Amino acid sequence: MDPTYTAHCHCGANVVKFTPPKELTDSEAKTIVCNCSICARNGYMLQFVGPDGFEWEKGGFEGLSEYKFGKEAISHYFCPTCGTSLAVSGMGMYGFNVRAVDGVDLDKITLKPYDGAAL
């Protein structure tokens, strides 16, 4: 059975359930840490899923503020009320910030660096 996690912004206006291919603490899960300017500043730790790998329980992309920069290939989403950086989307994939998931031991997550600064 695939693991399902709930991520939410600080104020609770946006709540999403997502199902990555592996448990977040599995050494093969490889949570992405991008070094582009926005991901680095916001501390994103991203798990990516396809379009069928998530469901909004409350709020959704339409209720989040969107920010694009550079080549504008990736949308970065944050809550306009509390400012939580919650998600990214682009190229048919959706990434959710593991830092917004309650109950996950971040020290047990395998990080996979991604050189987004080179794009």
pLDDT digits (tens, 9 = 90+) for 55-103: 999 999 999 999 999 888 899 999 999 999 999 999 899 999 999 999 8
pLDDT digits (tens, 9 = 90+) for 95-109: 999 999 998 999 999
In CATH terms, the fold of domain 5-103+110-118 is 2.170.150
Cα separation, 16 vs 41, in Å, equals 23
The domain spans of the chain are: 5-103+110-118
For the chain, the straight-line distance linking the first and the last C-alpha, in angstroms and rounded, comes to 36
DSSP string over 42-69: HT--EEEE-TTSEEEEE--GGGSEEE--
1 pLDDT exceeds 80? no
pLDDT digits (tens, 9 = 90+) for 2-35: 789 999 999 999 999 999 988 999 988 889 999 9
